[in-house]
Structure 1
């Protein structure tokens, strides 16, 4: 995969905590325009990996490239400006604002006018129109004026995706987007991810193998901080090493998901 094809690349990415190696020599290449899933048993280093990519942690050694540019030493705000936006963490919604107001805050961040609530009415109207478009996209336009705290769980997650989209991400990092959801919400959010992936790249950590098998173009399996296997789901799920390391829990998850 050449530089143009991969939007994000890590070279020998390693993170040690007091003698414990959480991420070990990870060489990851995420293809532009793809949905790439990071999976692995608990303690495999997935979250640490995400924290390194979004700069909430500094790597011990190794390099991170985004669009061919070395971003290893950049701060979280710098890489967010480059278009690498992580959902389900900093975009956490404001519970006592309406659904539309939440999206508007994301739009204001994007414009670099965050929290200038004294902006003119015209600016706010323009933000409202764009906000409604985004809510339409994630199927929430009917609850635009609802106070967020009153939304059911699955729809709150859809709102988090909308606030992330408001920041015009070129690449979205989704951390366990369907965690804690019932079957119906999982299906809805999976469909939503498929929809918002058009024209952008998604890297996701996800435990639900039904979700991964239905939308991921490529899967990277981590075990004890290192890459164990990589490829399309059909291939990876048959890999004996993956089955040994992981498939006990996967089978249980798959059965639980049906």
Structure 2
């Protein structure tokens, strides 16, 4: 039996006459890198928004570690260990790289909203923050202001900040979008590196990324699962080929 960390059952989201996600069944195995792929408008980001409760499902169920979390609020989902990144880099540009990671770690102190505390009270987090920066190859950038980082390094910092929240399941929404070849290669290698001991569900358009690091792939089309399996399996599926390439003339 596969060890399933996240499961959806007939997950559906309808907007006034339009079904963005319709009856999606997903089984994400613990320890896997699992990709959601599909043409634009297939429902991939809507699925992410449902899983993290930025949207409320019209019907269906979401189970995390066997527990029904369909009615949970976004903050509850995050506390359970489901942490996501977004298509647009979401780091604090005017803080240093180290300070960005410390924000994610601050929750462990229980002082998240004690803004009157001296910043020195956060120095106890520096050791762990530097460990995370080492993990994403950013230790040498710790004191740089984030706005000065190249785009690919900002995405790496976002992954470090996500890791600071101690995710059991990481949701990465198009982590290589808008990157040049060198940055794509670096971030792909980074995702593979940080996946050790973790589970990652990612939306990704770059097929070389998907084929290189993903254990399993779910292909969405018009809000439904069209195919599922390894890259070798889905890339040969006639329905998938038609969805991406169009019907043969």
**Please, what TM-score do these two structures have when normalized by structure 2?**
0.95
State the match for 1:254 in structure 2: none
**Structure 2 CA distance, aligned partners of 1:179 and 1:121?**
34
* Structure 2 unaligned blocks of 5 or more: none
> Which moves more between the two structures, 113-122 or 186-195?
113-122
* Structure 1 unaligned blocks of 5 or more: 249-258
1:177 counterpart = 2:175: yes
The answer to whether the 8 Å contact 2:89/2:155 transfers is no
Residue 190 of structure 1: which of 165, 188, 191 is its match? 188
RMSD: 1.6
Residues 117/129 of structure 1: CA separation in 2 closer, same or farther (3 Å cut): farther
The answer to whether the 8 Å contact 1:99/1:144 transfers is yes
The answer to whether the 8 Å contact 1:9/1:66 transfers is yes
Residue 74 of structure 2: which of 54, 73, 76 is its match? 76
Secondary structure in structure 2 of the residue aligned to 1:42: coil
**Structure 2 CA distance, aligned partners of 1:152 and 1:91?**
12
State the match for 2:154 in structure 1: 156
1:16 counterpart = 2:7: no
Deviations 1:44-69 (A, max 9, x none): 00010000001000000000000000
**Structure 1 CA distance, aligned partners of 2:177 and 2:87?**
13
The answer to whether the 8 Å contact 2:87/2:174 transfers is no
**Structure 2 CA distance, aligned partners of 1:50 and 1:111?**
29
How many pairs does the alignment contain?
A: 246
Residue 47 of structure 2: which of 46, 49, 57 is its match? 49
The answer to whether the 8 Å contact 1:91/1:164 transfers is no
Residues 77/111 of structure 1: CA separation in 2 closer, same or farther (3 Å cut): farther
**Structure 2 CA distance, aligned partners of 1:116 and 1:9?**
37
**Structure 2 CA distance, aligned partners of 1:66 and 1:8?**
5
Q: CA deviation at 1:114?
A: 1.5
Residues 18/183 of structure 1: CA separation in 2 closer, same or farther (3 Å cut): same
The answer to whether the 8 Å contact 2:91/2:158 transfers is yes
Within-5 A mapping of 1:18-33: 18-33=16-31
The answer to whether the 8 Å contact 2:36/2:218 transfers is yes
The answer to whether the 8 Å contact 2:89/2:154 transfers is no
Secondary structure in structure 2 of the residue aligned to 1:27: strand
State the match for 2:92 in structure 1: 94
**Structure 2 CA distance, aligned partners of 1:17 and 1:231?**
29
State the match for 2:142 in structure 1: 144
Deviations 1:62-89 (A, max 9, x none): 0000000000011100010000000136
State the match for 2:132 in structure 1: 134
